[in-house]
Chains A and B, each alone.
Chain A
């Protein structure tokens, strides 16, 4: 395991392993998987089945058989004819890690990608790796959720030497909860909500639930259960096909007024970064904007430690910073409710502790928050109510 906080050099360390691997083993024996697993798919084949066939060329027949059995154990057969890019983040992660294990590189480096897997999948996958199910190889994993792994680790590696240069500093800001006050958020009620992406594939099935403000809800479910779909229906990104959304007991068309009821932070930050500077991203700068708007922007920039990079293009920043920008931007929308999809992805424990304080403060001020996360460490520290999404149905 490669241990360290954000910006301690873990990614650099992992990428440098490639030259070491070449020296030791020669040829193409090193594979790196970064935070966005979709970028490590081939991108040239339209189905999962073709993607598997591609990697099969480099695998020995025995390993391919084992791979096929493992895929069946994870119930992945249902996804074989799908476009790999339409899979959820966790499904893509599982696919890409298994494919690369199948081809048995000498060294495999996984950089926080495993955080996107739910705990059951993560444990199962790591157990398979440790037991050498797909062959023995050197695997380096950088992860911020090490405490959640119940497997024996060979060694811990720390890439950063004392005094080494750290490009981005994040100082825990002095957080004064009295600074801002908000209007009490309305309640949200979902009535008989159902959704399917295509015929025969129902993702959500008859959901009935009432969400009260002043609470943090943890929307829990396996990879591909439909959590992001539900979030998008409430936010208004997707159009309701069946069912109703009631806000303070009045019918509400979220699709017609998107981004009004809920501020939404996407799982992949690159899906929601549009502006050419961080400050513009957090809250768009208008020419004759009023003082309150400017103050709101400054507040969230300082809250998330983004002042030093306010003029920088978000695309130039590392994944961790881009994620924080999207969180700041979602909260700066000042909506009554917030839906945060994997807010702690790639974030270290220092930031997570700070972020929990922010969330607690928001709910104390009357906001409502829905979190989608696979981080048990984060959920344990959060005082939240759990909503379980299983087979399209929601239960508390």
Chain B
């Protein structure tokens, strides 16, 4: 199943996000958190086709945090109160938070606009959010072009991963200049075309959200929140 079929309704997406955040914050039971990760997050990420990105996140982001905690609390401080349970809860919570962001903010482009509109964005805030979601692609695209140009200009005698990495400091200034130049011309264009009016009056196609799937997600969000609350009040 690809991401085109796994379309969360904007309200369900919001509910999933907030319920997940609250449920995770409130719970201190590592077993519950781990089970939630395994039966809710992993299947959702797999269905969304984001498994590779999630694995990268775990290896590059979470693993160093886990190792730092182990080093600090187990080997350096020898703090008996901060045991393996403590580390497990902290790390699993971080994984859950980042996974929730990954799932809920990876909105397919087809429903990006309608999702933001349903979430209450309009006018300038809507344009700001839309721009922030596309700006990284634009910057990455320009940066790659600049690196390619440096290679084409013969600034690098022999291509390798190291020589490519060494180009990164040189792309900052031309990238900033290009971005500013584009921003000025684009701002004029936006003003001429009254971009805020266009954005507020954009015609959106009706989207067919899979009903059963969205009900399941909504129910899961509610359960997550409720169980989180129960655990919190039981152990509070």
Interfacial residues, chain A to chain B (CB-CB below 8 A)? 18, 27-28, 30-32, 34, 36, 38-47, 50, 53-58, 83, 85-86, 100, 103, 105, 232, 235-237, 255-260, 263-264, 266, 270-274, 276, 315, 329-330, 333, 335
Contacts and interface: CB of A to CB of B under 8 A. Distances in A.
Given A30-B192, A31-B192, A39-B185, A258 B197 contact: no
B152 interface: yes
B-side interface size class: 35 or more
Interface of B: 109, 112-113, 127, 130-131, 134-135, 137-138, 141, 145-146, 148-159, 170-171, 173-174, 177-178, 181-182, 185-186, 188-195, 197-204
A105 to B, nearest CB: 8
Contacts of A232: 148, 152
B159 A58 contact: no
A86 B200 CA distance: 26
B152 A258 contact: yes
Nearest to B151: A258
B104 to A, nearest CB: 18
A264 B148 CA distance: 11
Contacts of B189: 31-32, 39-40
B153 A329 contact: yes
A216 B145 CA distance: 26
B154 A103 contact: no
A278 to B, nearest CB: 14
A237 B146 contact: no
Given A34-B185, A57-B201, A270 B152 contact: no
Contacts of A258: 151-152, 154, 156, 159
A44 B127 contact: yes
A46 B173 contact: no
B112 to A, nearest CB: 7
A42 B148 contact: no
A5 B27 CA distance: 72
Given A56-B203, A274-B173, A42 B152 contact: no
A266 B178 CA distance: 15
Which of A44, A55, A255, A330 has the largest count of B CB atoms less than 10 A from its CB?
Answer: A44
